[in-house]
């Protein structure tokens, strides 16, 4: 994969040089010269697309079930959308992945996934499919205006909010903890509201035997697990403490932002002091592992390293970066390498398979099936 990226990157550089030559050399300022420059520009776009988004087949699942998929929209009539000024209610697109051939009267545990900042609900599709193939039902949310792009029920495509982007860009817990605390609380309120809406709506539809989606017939609402990446990981960690119907939580490199109660006069975060109530698995990459004891927002994560037990598990995946914990590493290895600042060294397929195995083992242990 690295060799392929180097070849394509070299081709892009040569194409750029040729375009510059065609445009700026007087001898080429003729129709034929401009045609050559235009065709080179088209080739440059194609080469760039191949570099950023190579066609990579899905990783094969290992479970016994084939997988079905259904999508819908949930609207929260108790929350007005804060990222717009039109007074509309907050709406969330969701997608389910679940076992295709259901056994008679069989119910399957529900796993909810929350993506990171600027992510999308398909961000960890490899993991969803693997869990579904082993008898789990996975539902993933597009956190509207906090995801890169999504389409609402009216057909409108909405992008990530510029307000949210500015908040992320300015966030600096080490130097501006008071400002970060305000942002953390805002984000956790939005995300926890989204997650609770989805869970409560699913539970209600299952209870009422709704026929809107086929998947509702197969959900065991007494067995619910949560998984999230980055900001989504922080959100599921918070919801895991809030609700009493959650069996286990998996966080893909995220601090316990919802547990931050205040900031003291020295700029230190004050965290919730009670023990985490349910089994939790924290997975880390090179992006955070060496800084867990130094970054203020990760103080609670660092404490869990010292009290690891059967129900508190911490896993460090060496040789990868933050975005390698998602399928971006599979769909765009070059972009992942840039975003991860060179942390990514391992084969993306092998990394995602390892993540699948770790998460499946943890859920099988703590979710009754």
Q: What pLDDT digit, counting tens, does each position of 75-111 carry?
A: 999 999 999 999 999 999 999 999 997 677 789 999 9
- Tokens for 231, please give them: 């900001």
Q: How many other C-beta atoms are found inside a 10 Å radius of the C-beta of residue 208?
A: 10
Instruction: Assign 93 to helix, strand or coil.
Output: strand
Instruction: Assign 153 to helix, strand or coil.
Output: coil
CA quadruple 239, 200, 136, 305: dihedral, nearest 10: 10
Report how far residue 326's alpha carbon sits from residue 285's, in angstroms, rounded to the nearest whole number: 12
CB-based contacts of 62: which residues, under 8 Å, 6+ apart? 130, 133, 134, 356
As a 3-state breakdown, the chain gives helix, strand, coil percent values, each rounded to 5, of 45, 20, 35
Best CA proximity match to 325, nearest among 343, 311, 310, 312 = 343
Please tell me which residue, 331 or 137, carries the higher pLDDT value.
137
CA quadruple 80, 84, 85, 86: dihedral, nearest 10: -70
Asked whether the beta carbons of 354 and 336 are under 8 A apart, the reply is no
- pLDDT, one tens digit per residue, over 129-150 is 999 999 999 999 999 999 989 9
Best CA proximity match to 324, nearest among 287, 280, 297, 290 = 287
Average pLDDT over residues 319-331: 89
pLDDT for the residue numbered 49: 44
Burial of 250 (C-beta count, 10 Å sphere; 0-12/13-18/19+)? buried
Best CA proximity match to 332, nearest among 8, 43, 15, 41 = 8
Q: How many residues does the chain have?
A: 369
Q: For the chain, what is the mean pLDDT?
A: 87
Report how far residue 369's alpha carbon sits from residue 358's, in angstroms, rounded to the nearest whole number: 17
Q: How many other C-beta atoms are found inside a 10 Å radius of the C-beta of residue 63?
A: 16
Asked whether the beta carbons of 252 and 230 are under 8 A apart, the reply is yes
pLDDT for the residue numbered 51: 45
Give me the residue spans of the domains in the chain. 2-51, 56-366
Best CA proximity match to 331, nearest among 57, 2, 10, 114 = 57
pLDDT for the residue numbered 50: 45
> 85-88 long-range CB contacts below 8 Å, 24 or more apart?
none
Instruction: Assign 254 to helix, strand or coil.
Output: coil
Find the radius of gyration of the CA atoms of the chain.
Answer: 23
pLDDT for the residue numbered 137: 98
Best CA proximity match to 261, nearest among 194, 192, 188, 312 = 188
Instruction: Assign 315 to helix, strand or coil.
Output: strand
pLDDT for the residue numbered 58: 79
Q: What is the CATH number of domain 56-366?
A: 3.40.50.1820
Report how far residue 86's alpha carbon sits from residue 156's, in angstroms, rounded to the nearest whole number: 14
Average pLDDT over residues 246-257: 98
Interstrand relation of 248-252 and 260-263 (parallel, antiparallel or unpaired): unpaired
- pLDDT, one tens digit per residue, over 19-75 is 555 556 544 454 545 555 555 555 545 544 444 455 667 799 999 999 999 999 999
Average pLDDT over residues 279-304: 95
Which sign, positive or negative, has the C-alpha torsion 190, 191, 192, 198?
A: positive
Q: At what angle do helices 125-133 and 348-366 cross, to 10 degrees?
A: 50
Interstrand relation of 260-263 and 269-271 (parallel, antiparallel or unpaired): antiparallel
Report how far residue 151's alpha carbon sits from residue 46's, in angstroms, rounded to the nearest whole number: 26
Q: What is the pTM of this model?
A: 0.86
């Amino acid at each position: 994969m690295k060799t392929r990226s180097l070849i394509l990157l070299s081709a892009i550089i040569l194409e750029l040089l040729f375009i510059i030559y065609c445009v700026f050399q007087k001898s080429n300022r003729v129709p034929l010269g401009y045609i050559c420059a235009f065709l080179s520009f088209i080739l440059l776009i194609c080469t760039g697309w191949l570099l950023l988004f190579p066609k990579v087949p899905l990783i094969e699942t290992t479970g016994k079930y084939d997988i079905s998929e259904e999508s819908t929209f949930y609207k929260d009539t108790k929350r007005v959308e804060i990222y717009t000024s039109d007074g509309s209610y907050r709406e969330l697109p969701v997608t389910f992945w679940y076992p295709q051939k259901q056994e008679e009267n069989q119910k399957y545990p529900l796993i909810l996934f929350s993506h990171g900042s600027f992510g999308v609900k398909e961000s960890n599709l490899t993991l969803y499919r693997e869990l579904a193939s082993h008898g789990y039902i996975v539902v993933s949310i597009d956190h509207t205006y906090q995801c890169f792009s999504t389409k609402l029920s009216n057909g409108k495509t909405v992008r990530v909010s510029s307000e949210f982007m500015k908040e992320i860009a300015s966030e600096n817990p080490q130097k501006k903890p008071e400002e970060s605390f305000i942002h953390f609380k805002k984000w956790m309120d939005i995300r926890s509201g989204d997650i609770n809406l989805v869970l409560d709506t699913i539970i209600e539809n299952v209870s009422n035997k709704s026929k809107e989606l086929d998947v509702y017939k197969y959900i065991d609402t007494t067995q619910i697990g949560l998984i999230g990446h980055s900001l989504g990981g922080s959100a599921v960690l918070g919801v895991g403490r809030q609700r009493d119907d959650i069996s286990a939580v998996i966080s893909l490199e995220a601090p316990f932002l919802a547990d931050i109660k205040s900031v003291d006069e020295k700029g230190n975060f004050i965290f919730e002091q009670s023990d985490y109530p349910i089994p939790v698995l924290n997975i880390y990459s090179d992006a955070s592992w060496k800084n867990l004891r130094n970054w203020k927002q990760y103080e609670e994560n660092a404490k869990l390293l010292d009290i690891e037990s059967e129900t508190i598990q911490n896993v460090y995946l060496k040789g990868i970066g933050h975005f390698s914990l998602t399928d971006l590493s599979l769909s765009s290895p070059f972009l992942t390498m840039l975003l991860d600042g060179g942390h990514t060294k391992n084969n993306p397929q092998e990394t995602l398979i390892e993540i699948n195995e770790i998460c499946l083992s943890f859920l099988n242990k703590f979710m009754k099936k």
